[in-house]
């Protein structure tokens, strides 16, 4: 049974996996570029995603993009749970509904509305057996089934009116026929370097694309500009520091990649609808930690 390796380097790829994990409290967040699916039958598990505690309930499929810092801070009545990791380019190429992809790529954890324990329990058990047989044909069949399950999740969420409005600055996604590995590489480069003063030219150079084309295909895929995506990562980084540390707001601003307090405050208020101090007061964890 797998469990989180605290010595694991950030963004070390998992690739395509379906494994059973033992839940353990994590002393630091993990980050990797894959889309992650979680499922367990009973109990509950709580992640710290950026600066918010998000609880996953037993019997409900949960999906998120694991490039966002995710850290298990609590769990109960769980002996093991299934974890599937899917390379982002594969999922981008599946043509899932625009709204579900926009929410996932903007850092939200999506969770099934209704409990369907027996249905998903059987699916994950079968996928676990099939994938670990290491048969290419079998894995292709499993991928088709996973895609269908994600399509069903999207439909269920839409029927339950569970979607919020698209995040500020987002537009509908139209992927076209682009090299998704390049798009993933841009997202990964930003996730690894957003605390530095990176520019559009730096991002484009990292993936050997012209800056104008890099900006175009990124906006078409993610529904937001490269600049907005960088700012979003910086604000979300600051959210985590605000609730898990006693650092001063100015220190958090610079540590998150902003070059001025005024720019930090305006960006934070735009995305969070409150000031950094207001966010800290309403989301603060006990003793400034997890």
Q: Give, in degrees to the nearest 5, the angle at Cα 94 between 90 and 95.
A: 135
CA–CA gap between residue 282 and residue 157 (Å, rounded): 28
More confident: 207 or 118: 207
Average pLDDT, the chain: 86
Cβ–Cβ < 8 Å for 203, 226 = yes
Q: Determine the pLDDT at residue 219.
A: 86
Residue ranges of alpha helices (H) inside the chain are 88-92, 98-105, 117-131, 136-159, 180-193, 200-206, 211-222, 226-244, 249-255, 261-272, 276-283
Residue 159 burial class via C-beta count within 10 angstroms: exposed 0-12, middle 13-18, buried 19 and up: exposed
Which of 120, 122, 126 is closest to 141 using CA atoms?
Answer: 126
pLDDT at 148 over 70: yes
pLDDT at 80 over 60: yes
pLDDT at 215 over 50: yes
pLDDT at 3 over 90: no
More confident: 251 or 192: 251
The contacts of residue 242 (CB under 8 Å, 6+ apart) are 51, 249, 252, 276, 279, 280, 283, 284
Which of 153, 172, 149 is closest to 162 using CA atoms?
Answer: 153
Q: Determine the pLDDT at residue 253.
A: 97
Q: Give, in degrees to the nearest 5, the angle at Cα 192 between 221 and 32.
A: 75
CA 31, chain centre distance (Å): 9
Grouping H, G, I as helix, E, B as strand and the rest as coil, residue 74 is strand
Q: Determine the pLDDT at residue 95.
A: 81
pLDDT at 195 over 60: yes
Q: Give me the DSSP letters along 83-108.
A: EEEE-HHHHHTTT--HHHHHHHHTTP
More confident: 238 or 282: 238
Range picked from 116-120, 250-254, 286-290 for highest mean pLDDT: 250-254
Percent of the chain with pLDDT over 90: 53
More confident: 11 or 176: 11
Cβ–Cβ < 8 Å for 12, 118 = no
pLDDT at 110 over 90: yes
Q: Determine the pLDDT at residue 171.
A: 40
Q: Determine the pLDDT at residue 116.
A: 60
CA–CA gap between residue 133 and residue 200 (Å, rounded): 43
Q: Determine the pLDDT at residue 268.
A: 94
Cβ–Cβ < 8 Å for 74, 26 = no
Place of tokens 């559009």: 200
Place of tokens 């979300």: 236
Which of 106, 91, 220, 109 is closest to 151 using CA atoms?
Answer: 91
pLDDT at 122 over 60: yes
Domains and CATH numbers, the chain: 17-159 (2.60.120.280), 180-288 (1.10.10.60)
Note the pLDDT tens digit of each residue in 84-95: 999 888 888 888
CA 197, chain centre distance (Å): 23
pLDDT at 166 over 50: no
Q: What is the distance in angstroms between the CA of the first residue and the CA of the last residue of the chain? A: 25
Question: Would you place residue 287 in the very low, low, confident or very high pLDDT band (cuts 50, 70, 90)?
Answer: low
pLDDT at 289 over 70: no
Q: Are strands 35-39 and 110-111 parallel, antiparallel or unpaired?
A: unpaired
pLDDT at 12 over 60: yes
Is the pTM higher than 0.75? yes
């Amino acid at each position: 049974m797998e469990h989180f390796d605290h010595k694991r380097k950030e963004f070390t790829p998992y690739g395509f996996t379906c494994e059973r994990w033992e839940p353990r409290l994590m002393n630091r967040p993990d980050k990797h570029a894959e889309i992650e699916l979680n499922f367990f039958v009973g109990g509950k598990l709580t992640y710290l995603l950026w600066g918010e505690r998000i609880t996953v309930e037993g019997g409900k499929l949960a999906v998120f993009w694991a490039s966002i810092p995710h850290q298990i801070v609590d769990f109960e009545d769980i002996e093991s749970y299934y974890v599937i990791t899917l390379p982002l380019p594969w999922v981008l190429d599946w043509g899932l509904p625009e709204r579900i992809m926009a929410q996932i790529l903007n850092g939200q954890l999506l969770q099934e509305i209704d409990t369907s324990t027996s249905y998903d329990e059987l699916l994950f058990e079968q996928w676990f057996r099939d994938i670990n047989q290491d048969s290419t044909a079998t894995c292709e069949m499993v991928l088709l089934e996973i895609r269908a399950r994600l399509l069903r999740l999207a439909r269920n969420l839409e029927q339950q009116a569970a979607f919020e409005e698209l995040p500020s600055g987002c537009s509908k996604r139209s992927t076209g026929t682009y090299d998704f590995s390049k798009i993933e590489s841009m997202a990964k480069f930003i996730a690894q370097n957003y605390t530095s003063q990176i520019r559009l030219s730096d991002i484009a150079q990292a993936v050997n694309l012209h800056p104008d084309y890099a900006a175009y295909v990124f906006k078409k895929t993610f529904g937001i500009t490269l600049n907005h995506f960088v700012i979003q990562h910086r604000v979300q980084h600051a959210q985590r520091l605000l609730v898990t540390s006693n650092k001063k707001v100015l220190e958090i601003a610079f540590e998150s990649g902003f070059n001025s307090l005024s720019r930090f405050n305006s960006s934070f208020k735009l995305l969070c609808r409150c000031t950094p101090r207001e966010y800290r007061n309403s989301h603060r964890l006990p003793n400034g930690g997890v």
